[in-house]
A = this chain, B = another copy of it.
Amino acid sequence: MDKNFWYLKNCDLFERLSQDQIAQVERNSSVRQFGRGNLVYLPTESSDSVFLLLSGRIKLYHITGEGKQALLALIEPGELFGELAILGGGDREEYAEAMLKSTILRIPGPIIQTLMEQHAAVSLGVTKLMGLRRQRVEQRLKSLLFRSNRDRLTYLLLDLAEKYGRLTAQGVLINIKLSHQELASIIGSTRETVTVLLGEMQDERSIDIQKRQIILRKAQHLAHTIDFKLTPVLQAKPDQSGEYLLRGAEA
């Protein structure tokens, strides 16, 4: 067994494929490196392939008419992106930029399409992927409609906690560094407003910030204020369990 296959086996979508099929995907795909700040693709480019992030971190964003950046998604290793290419080649609609040095596998759309036709499991997997992402976006839409910036930010922090959270003695540590500007670009607000709101939350002892890392001291309480159903893992009393890693750490 070729050791290079690990990343395909690691991805939910491909894990059930036979050796042959994996080999075929691999033969037709190519690996590339991108340094921090490099663009993987940009709008108006035609979308003929799908990407699998092997390492690093990618952000997908849109630039508004007034030049503001609207952050659409953060992609972590093992996740696919640019997957709308599977549906047939419209143009890309957003920018994909490496936030860290990243390695990416580029898989031509037709390869996936063929697989889908041959393998019901792949097909179902892609459908699930689309469905889940749609659910996420819809969830996010709801979190923005009618809500104050304060509540949007709270929602965002809890959302990040579910993806990047670590349970520590002080509370839930959000293990990713995002600037206030980036946070603002996710909730559709301004950098200054985010700064002020985070300040308020600190004054209220709901959160704690050290070296640009945010710790939710009262995750449960925050969740309560906006009807967020917090995953049970994050509800554990920190002092009981000590340090408990939820997801892959960052360097």
Contacts and interface: CB of A to CB of B under 8 A. Distances in A.
Copies of this chain, whole number: 2
A226 interface: yes
Interface residues of A, number: 37
Contact of A116 (B120, B137, B142, B188): B120
A128 interface: yes
A1 interface: no
A130 interface: yes
Nearest to A187: B145
A21 to B, nearest CB: 15
A30 interface: no
Contacts of A68: 146
A149 B65 CA distance: 15
Contact of A70 (B70, B84, B86, B145): B145
Contacts of A100: none
A72 interface: yes
A133 interface: yes
A134 interface: yes
A86 B72 CA distance: 25
Nearest to A188: B145
Interface string A215-243: 00000000000110000000000000000
A113 to B, nearest CB: 8
A102 to B, nearest CB: 22
A-B CB proximity, top 5 nearest: A145-B188, A134-B134, A130-B130, A123-B123, A117-B120
Interface of A: 62, 64-66, 68, 70, 72, 84, 86-87, 93, 116-117, 120, 123-124, 126-128, 130-135, 137-138, 140-142, 144-147, 188, 226-227
